[in-house]
Structure 1
Amino acid sequence: MASLHSFRRELRRMDHGRVLLGTDVGQICENVASALAPHQMELRGRTLPEKAAMSRLRVGDLDLVKLRYGSDVAIWPEPSNEFLLLQFVLSGRVEVEHEGTLTVGNEGQGLIIEALDHRHLRLSADCEQLIIPVRRSTISRAIEVLTGRPAPARYGFDQSFDLGQPSGASLLCLARYLLLCPPGIASSGSPIGTLAADLLANHLILAHRGAGSLEPKSAAAPYPVVRAEKYMRENYALPISINDLASHAGVSPRTLSSAFRRFRGVSPMERLRELRLEQVRASLSDGSAVTVAHAAAMAGFPHAGRFSEIYRQHFGESPNVTLAKARTN
């Protein structure tokens, strides 16, 4: 596979940060746990892992970990639901046994380990992997935005896939992008890692889930949007921040913003302004407002001058014209 071979060459740039993990099993486990997860390990043969090495690259808050043990090993990760592990098998063979089911990843394949509960891994001596941990909270948030429903406890992702097929090759391209990111935009705190993690999550949901698609069932807005809009309508006259809306909707501000842009085409605060403008127009049209300034203030617009321009841009006429029409009728 030409793309995998070129990717392996590009991965050599990670070697400047390579760490030799030692020959003591306990020391190796401790070093790997610092980048991935606590686990127990034992040698499957009599040879010591003299070539055990790990390279780690951080892009924002996302990690790329290149790992090889250099010996046949068996691994028992400690149970954890914090991360999902996306693994690219660069060479050799990985076997993952879980609840009586054996999943095999050979060179040129990818593996998705949803959670580290009751897994038994076996790696060949020539096995080398690139591993990307993805927070399960990121996956769950993406599912919530896509479907409008709470994420299930089990995602049901494909346990293995071919890096030569479109869905696998696209993941390889994303990993290559992270690898080649200029240091200036890949530093800690950069949004690139967050954006890449969100893209990874959405790709896994839409392209690597077997039976039972997690795509939206309908065009109906998800419940965080509905709850936020209900709160807006009931409290439009009050000062409202994005944090207020997110807290009431029960999601993070970023999740709420993503949901609004997907299902409403605007940000939550832009939607709040639309609802306030609609309230002003209603009060001007039905005669319940005495003046434009009164209607604007009652709908949560403190500055009448700026409000008039916003109103005209939205409705194509000034609020004074709307009020005059109501009085004429």
Structure 2
Amino acid sequence: MDLLPQLDLSKIYHRPVFRSHSAEDSHQALSRAITHHQLNWGRGDVSTALYRRELNRISLMILSYGAEVIIRPNAFKDFVLVQMPLRGSAEIESDGVGIHLNSGEVAVVAPRRSIRLHWQANCEQLILKLPTELLRQTACQTCALSHCPSLGADCQPWIDPVFKLAGGIAPQWQALLQQMLSLLSPDQARELHPSWINQFEQTAALFLQSHQPSVLERDNQGDEDSSDFNQMPAPFDTRLTRIEDYMRSRLFAPISLADLARVAEVSPRTLNVLCHRHRGVAPMVLLRNLRLEAARNKLISDPRASVTEVAMEYGFGHLGRFSAYYRERFGELPRQTSLMRH
């Protein structure tokens, strides 16, 4: 069975970064383009080629070495790689977990300690590079922590060091991938609004995060708690209204997932399932959205309010992150809302 989807990769192939028959030049160029790494050459002729295009924050690359290679990159923390052989095969070992990747199969790689890649001769791969900051923006929706670290540097938006997308969901990822390719403009012109592309990139990031095997297993185990729902003395809507009222009464105060679970009188896991089923988002995302709406109302109604003061007032200690969340939610920056008053 041919697993390779029919993708239009022409817009990437039209942007070569480099081509080389030199092992040394290839190593140096790839270290600059992707990440520092050790590179050992095996059988076959060196015929390296790299093509690359960018959306807002996601890089799309096509890479081939010609020869068989073993690659040992430094364990990367600032990004996650999605790899799909267009031809040939490869093996990946990340933090002691190993997989074999055939043509058309998709692997997601996020090592914390060590990684080893073994590409067979004449292997060519489509590679996506997703920055960790993008993943942090969607991490709340798959997080099982009882206390949210406000998406700071300690937030771990990824769980599994390497995994393959299951065959049943691979077509959905391929459809997302084809749409991503269609968003690439044929030239340098920006025809689509960056905020819309940013929203699409977050959708792609959330798709990959939510289909990690450990997340799927955790959520399936969560379904075993369905007896909790049946034993609830209060209806779902009553409990959700209760926690939303609690959130609105404490928009200026720190709130954890454990706090919300106590108010709803359920476990944090059950509350997470409840919010996803009936509000479409995780509890902490629901809280953030309520705070953003309150901040927007304040910017519109109070001519004396500054963006910085409003961000701090509603619990957003990082102004840049507040602006990013705000634009994602309302399609404009806080200062643009503020200018509407004048």
- Tell me if the contact between 1:68 and 1:127 (Cα under 8 Å) persists in the aligned partners: yes
Equivalent residue runs for 1:53-72 within 5 Å: 53-72=49-68
When residues 71 and 218 of structure 1 are mapped into structure 2, their CA distance, relative to the original with a 3 A threshold, is same
Q: CA deviation at 1:124?
A: 0.5
Residue in 2 aligned with 1:30?
Answer: 28
Q: How many residues align?
A: 264
Equivalent residue runs for 1:267-306 within 5 Å: none
Quote the Cα distance in structure 2 between the aligned partners of 1:19 and 1:77. Answer: 20
**SS of equivalent residue, structure 1 residue 79:** coil
**SS of equivalent residue, structure 2 residue 136:** helix
**SS of equivalent residue, structure 1 residue 165:** coil
Quote the Cα distance in structure 1 between the aligned partners of 2:187 and 2:306. Answer: 29
Quote the Cα distance in structure 2 between the aligned partners of 1:267 and 1:61. Answer: 18
When residues 216 and 138 of structure 1 are mapped into structure 2, their CA distance, relative to the original with a 3 A threshold, is farther
When residues 255 and 202 of structure 1 are mapped into structure 2, their CA distance, relative to the original with a 3 A threshold, is farther
Quote the Cα distance in structure 2 between the aligned partners of 1:106 and 1:58. Answer: 25
Residue in 1 aligned with 2:218?
Answer: 212
When residues 183 and 268 of structure 1 are mapped into structure 2, their CA distance, relative to the original with a 3 A threshold, is closer
**SS of equivalent residue, structure 2 residue 14:** helix
> TM-score scaled by structure 1?
0.65
Residue in 2 aligned with 1:250?
Answer: 317
Residue 161 (1) aligns with residue 157 (2): no
Per-residue CA deviation, residues 288-309 of structure 1 (Å, 9 max, x unaligned), is: xxxxxxxxxxxxxx99xxxxxx
Residue in 2 aligned with 1:100?
Answer: 96
**SS of equivalent residue, structure 1 residue 6:** coil
Quote the Cα distance in structure 1 between the aligned partners of 2:201 and 2:135. Answer: 9
Identity of aligned residues (%): 18
- Tell me if the contact between 1:158 and 1:208 (Cα under 8 Å) persists in the aligned partners: no
> TM-score scaled by structure 2?
0.63
Residue in 1 aligned with 2:107?
Answer: 111
**Equivalent residue letter for 1:250:** G
Q: Which of the pair has more CA radius of gyration?
A: 1
Q: 1:44 aligns with which of 33, 42, 45?
A: 42
When residues 202 and 186 of structure 1 are mapped into structure 2, their CA distance, relative to the original with a 3 A threshold, is farther
When residues 113 and 204 of structure 1 are mapped into structure 2, their CA distance, relative to the original with a 3 A threshold, is same
Unaligned runs of at least 5 residues, structure 1: 274-301, 304-329
- Tell me if the contact between 2:58 and 2:130 (Cα under 8 Å) persists in the aligned partners: yes
Residue in 2 aligned with 1:18?
Answer: 16
- Tell me if the contact between 2:51 and 2:62 (Cα under 8 Å) persists in the aligned partners: yes
Residue 181 (1) aligns with residue 177 (2): no
